[in-house]
Amino acid sequence: MKAVVVHGPGDIRIDHRPDPSPGPNEALVAMHYGGICGSDISYATHGHSGTALLRHPLVLGHEVSGHIAALGSAVASYQVGDAVTVHPASPSGEELPRLVAGRTNLHREVRYFGSAAFEPHEDGGFSTYRVVRVDQLRLLPEGVSTPMGALAEPLGVALHAVGRLGDVRGRTVFVNGAGSIGSLVVAAAKARGAARVLAADVQPDALAMAAALGADQVYDATRELPTDVELVVEASGVAAALGAVLHATARGGTVVQVGNLSMTPTPAVLADLVTREITWTGSYRFVDEITEAVDLLARGLDLEPLIAATYDLDDAAAAITAAATTPGKVLLRLS
């Protein structure tokens, strides 16, 4: 089979590897589509993603979908030919402390498709085939295409961020940063019942995408932001924007940080965090919101405006380069 493998910074290759076979409680998935994420770009460009350092070649990709090509001997809940997406996480299984009970995304060790966080690295799904544990599969209902199925994972990330705000029904939500995740947060907030969703970005294309996914009003962040919004999601990950975002937040409001912030010291204006008594909280991956994401897609949530381009697997290097400069989602056609 073919696989998109990062060997080091700037070194993306299409490697040939033996076709895998599923174990008793596994399925062999013939991969169809994969969405390129910021972590894929970071591994390809810098050889690391956050604190995860690339130590040996790694198959990229954790936003994937496909069809079941073969089943392990103990699997009775799926059939060959079923369309599926994948929950890419494998928590360690340790008992979580009371403070984070049930929040499986916060295990000390979570192996994730396409991640170099632990040794050995966890290969991703940008390959012709991938063996997947059955508990990680999510069936794509009729009417949900595999390109849309590849967007279920980042939609799960967005739903988790909205969940960290609390109940958004009938309320106004402001999303700063309208790239792929920010625009998905717009869609997720509307799907969860927000009355109005506002979005800001510095790129007109990103603002157009957010509007297409349900934003009621968009703002050019170089000129203005909304004011006194109680519920805010910061999705840009730009530390220099934090001061303005906190100032746009109402006194006593909540800011959820889903945009990844730099691991290096970076100046940021945070005074309003104190004087406005703002609650600033993080959002990391998701627990099982990918299941809700698939349900929303089945009920007609249209994420087509998010897709900026589609490349073949053999053109993965060019696709990753393109993904680094577009606010939309670049997909790889894996088979």
Digit-coded pLDDT (tens) for 155-204: 999 999 999 999 999 999 999 999 999 999 999 999 999 999 999 999 99
Which residues are 85's β-sheet partners? 65, 138
What pLDDT band is residue 149 in, cutting at 50, 70 and 90? very high
- CB-count exposure of residue 132 (10 Å: 0-12, 13-18, 19+): buried
For the domain made up of 155-282, the CATH class stated in words is alpha beta
- The reported pLDDT for the residue numbered 81 is 98
| Residue intervals in the chain for CATH 3.90.180.10 | 2-151+303-333
- The reported pLDDT for the residue numbered 92 is 87
Contact (CB, 8 A) for 4 and 318: no
Mean pLDDT of the chain: 97
- pTM score over 0.95: yes
Tell me, letter by letter, the H, E, C secondary structure of the chain: CEEEEEEECCEEEEEECCCCCCCCCEEEEEEEEEECCHHHHHHHHHCEECCEECCCCEECCCEEEEEEEEECCCCCCCCCCCEEEECCEEECCCCCCHHHCCCHHHCCCEEECCECCCCCCECCCCECEEEEEHHHEEECCCCCCHHHHCCHHHHHHHHHHHHHHCCCCCCEEEEECCCHHHHHHHHHHHHCCCCEEEEEECCHHHHHHHHHCCCCEEEECCCCCCCCEEEEEECCCCHHHHHHHHHHEEEEEEEEECCCCCCCCCCCCCHHHHHCCCEEEECCCCCCHHHHHHHHHHCCCCCHHHEEEEEEHHHHHHHHHHHCCCCCEEEEECC
- The reported pLDDT for the residue numbered 94 is 86
What pLDDT band is residue 264 in, cutting at 50, 70 and 90? confident
For residue 10, pLDDT over 90 is answered with yes
For residue 263, pLDDT over 90 is answered with no
| Residue intervals in the chain for CATH 3.40.50.720 | 155-282
Give residue-wise pLDDT tens across range 245-262. 999 999 999 999 999 998
Q: Please give the single-letter amino acid code of residue 290.
A: I
Contact (CB, 8 A) for 290 and 148: no
The span from the CA of 180 to the CA of 159, in Å, is 13
Helix 204-212 / helix 180-191 crossing angle, nearest 10 deg: 20
CATH of 2-151+303-333, one of 3.40.920.10, 3.30.413.10, 1.10.20.140, 3.90.180.10: 3.90.180.10
| CA dihedral sign of residues 27, 289, 218, 37 | negative
Peptide bond into 18 cis (omega under 30): no
The span from the CA of 107 to the CA of 3, in Å, is 29
Give me the mean pLDDT over the 226-247 stretch. 98
- The reported pLDDT for the residue numbered 38 is 95
- The reported pLDDT for the residue numbered 26 is 98
The span from the CA of 133 to the CA of 88, in Å, is 10
Q: Please give the single-letter amino acid code of residue 259.
A: G
- The reported pLDDT for the residue numbered 93 is 82
Give residue-wise pLDDT tens across range 70-104. 999 999 999 999 999 999 999 988 899 999 999 99
Place of tokens 């170099």: 116
Q: Please give the single-letter amino acid code of residue 250.
A: A
Give me the mean pLDDT over the 139-148 stretch. 97
